[in-house]
Structure 1
Amino acid sequence: MTRQELFEQIKIKQSFLCVGLDTDLNKIPSHLQKVADPIFEFNKQIIDQTADFAVAYKPNIAFYEALGPKGWESLQKTLDYIPKNIFSIADAKRGDIGNTSGLYAKAFFETMDFDSITVAPYMGIDSVSPFLSYENKWVILLALTSNEGSLDFQFSELKNGKPVYQEVLEKSSKWGNPDNMMYVVGATRGEKIGEVRKIVPEHFFLVPGVGAQGGSLEEVAKYGMNSRCGLLVNSSRGIIYAGKGTDFGTEARKEAKKLQGEMEVLLNQYCY
């Protein structure tokens, strides 16, 4: 999917919602355990109910690979079911030396045909560039995350006086461009999102941490939006586990619609 196509979907749906498909076999409703592929059936109903409001879906790969071959089958079926006009994200956090990264890229961009993949920048350009060689595919680079452990390294000051996350942003923005690279920027960092936006004004941000993790959607929009939105805000547990019973799909739809309504207001406030 191209950058322009993503902009168009945001404008059509008045939404920058990404639904995280962190589908846990132990948390899905019990009545689904009787079907042949509970994970896919759960995802299918979530997609059916939320596709009107979502511009992206983000399966967290760990939830699938933990189940072995059956999990990978469920993941592929889920990817195939996502409508083609909705951006797909493999939340895999890959990143290794060049030849290995090349095979990761082949796995997720050719074999599975995701639109994008999350990548760790720690090993530098040769671990990231293989992913950037694919046309109309995206690297979503970890920049400033929302977990507590992010304080261990990301804010450490280098000899040049810059924190590590800022160095990552400045260097990596020269590896790719706004048409093939996004950044993960955690919602719980508040005004830090604004600092990141100054460094990379045109890039998309994938923003986790809204909802169950306590991040503020309004703050994310205030500090992170650019003139064309430039945001994909993820909600996982808050949407997919909104309901516990046979009505889980309709409950997920209510939560997705609620977020889309809030996003529409913010888009008109900050972009249009």
Structure 2
Amino acid sequence: MKIDQLIAQIREKKTFLCVGLDTDLDKIPEHLLKEEDPIFAFNKAIIDATHQFCVAYKPNIAFYEAYGLKGWKALERTMEYLNTEYPEVFTIADAKRGDIGNTSTRYAKAFFETLNFDSITIAPYMGKDSVEPFLAFKDKHTILLALTSNQGAFDFQTKQVNGQELYKEVLATSKSYKNAENLMYVVGATKASYLSEVRQIVPESFLLVPGVGAQGGNLQEVCKYGITKDIGLLVNSSRGILYASQGLDFAKMAGDKAKSIQKEMEIELNKLDV
């Protein structure tokens, strides 16, 4: 997907919500466990109930790998359903991959070609030759972990390197990579006050912002520091939408929660006149 298509979808739907498909068999409604493929059954219901209120879906790959072949099959079915029924929606493989040379190329082929994701999250610790293989794919996007929302982010990401925090070094260095125009970045919502400094280095890049909702991030703060004239934000919510209800009404409640977030986002977008 081209960035222009993503921006157009945001403007049309008045939302920049990303729904994280972190599907956990221990948390989904009990009646779905009787289904032949409960993960897909849950995902399909969530997607059908929320698609009009969001512009992206982000399956966290660990939640599928944990169930072996059945999990991968559910992921394949989920992606086939999204790409067939809602092809306008941006898809993110939250895989946090990253390795050198041919290994990264194979990861890229797995997610960009076999599963047909639009983007993938990548850990940048191994540097340029672990990231550029992902950037070589046309109309596909690589989302680098820059400043994450977890408590351990302060172990390394904010340490001083060459006179500035490591996450700033990652941002600045990545701009020199071949096909860097295909880069996006993860910046956690719980670090919203850092967004103004992030924007000094990558003023126009799209940011994937997890941590709104269950992790305590604030949407208005994220927009205050991070939004651009072309929006430049994908704000993720996972648990708060997926598990809004454990009953038969789980899909409706998920849709209601997504709609509520969409309405908040519409207010922020109206400030931009988009």
TM-score normalised by structure 1 residue count: 0.98
5+ residue gaps, structure 2: none
Question: Which residue among 167, 170, 173 is the counterpart of 1:171?
Answer: 173
After TM superposition, give the deviation of residue 178 of structure 1 in Å: 6.7
Question: Which residue among 248, 251, 263 is the counterpart of 1:249?
Answer: 251
User: Which residue of the partner structure matches residue 116 of structure 2?
Assistant: 113
CA RMSD of aligned residues (A): 1.0
After TM superposition, give the deviation of residue 271 of structure 1 in Å: 5.3
The DSSP-based 3-state class of the residue aligned with 2:217 is coil
After TM superposition, give the deviation of residue 177 of structure 1 in Å: 5.7
User: Which residue of the partner structure matches residue 144 of structure 1?
Assistant: 147
1:131-168 deviations in Å (ceiling 9; x for gaps) = 0110000000000001000000001101x211100000
Q: Which amino acid aligns with 1:140?
A: I
Does the Cα contact within 8 Å between 1:225 and 1:270 map onto a contact in 2? Answer: no
Does the Cα contact within 8 Å between 1:177 and 1:203 map onto a contact in 2? Answer: no
The DSSP-based 3-state class of the residue aligned with 1:118 is strand
User: Which residue of the partner structure matches residue 127 of structure 2?
Assistant: 124
The DSSP-based 3-state class of the residue aligned with 1:183 is strand
Q: Which amino acid aligns with 2:197?
A: E
Q: Which amino acid aligns with 1:196?
A: V
Counterparts of 1:1-272 in structure 2, within 5 Å, are 1-82=1-82, 83-158=86-161, 160-175=162-177, 179-270=181-272, 272=274
5+ residue gaps, structure 1: none
Does the Cα contact within 8 Å between 1:55 and 1:86 map onto a contact in 2? Answer: yes
Does the Cα contact within 8 Å between 2:104 and 2:134 map onto a contact in 1? Answer: yes
Identity %: 62
User: Matches of 1:13 and 1:194 in 2, distance apart?
Assistant: 26
User: Matches of 1:57 and 1:96 in 2, distance apart?
Assistant: 24
User: Matches of 1:263 and 1:178 in 2, distance apart?
Assistant: 28
After TM superposition, give the deviation of residue 270 of structure 1 in Å: 3.7
User: Matches of 2:211 and 2:18 in 1, distance apart?
Assistant: 12
TM-score normalised by structure 2 residue count: 0.97
Change (3 A) 1:13 1:81: same
User: Matches of 1:142 and 1:177 in 2, distance apart?
Assistant: 17
Moved over 6 A (4+): none
The DSSP-based 3-state class of the residue aligned with 1:123 is coil
Pairs aligned (count): 271
User: Matches of 2:126 and 2:222 in 1, distance apart?
Assistant: 29
Q: Which amino acid aligns with 1:187?
A: A
The DSSP-based 3-state class of the residue aligned with 1:58 is strand
The DSSP-based 3-state class of the residue aligned with 1:51 is helix
After TM superposition, give the deviation of residue 179 of structure 1 in Å: 4.1
The DSSP-based 3-state class of the residue aligned with 1:52 is helix
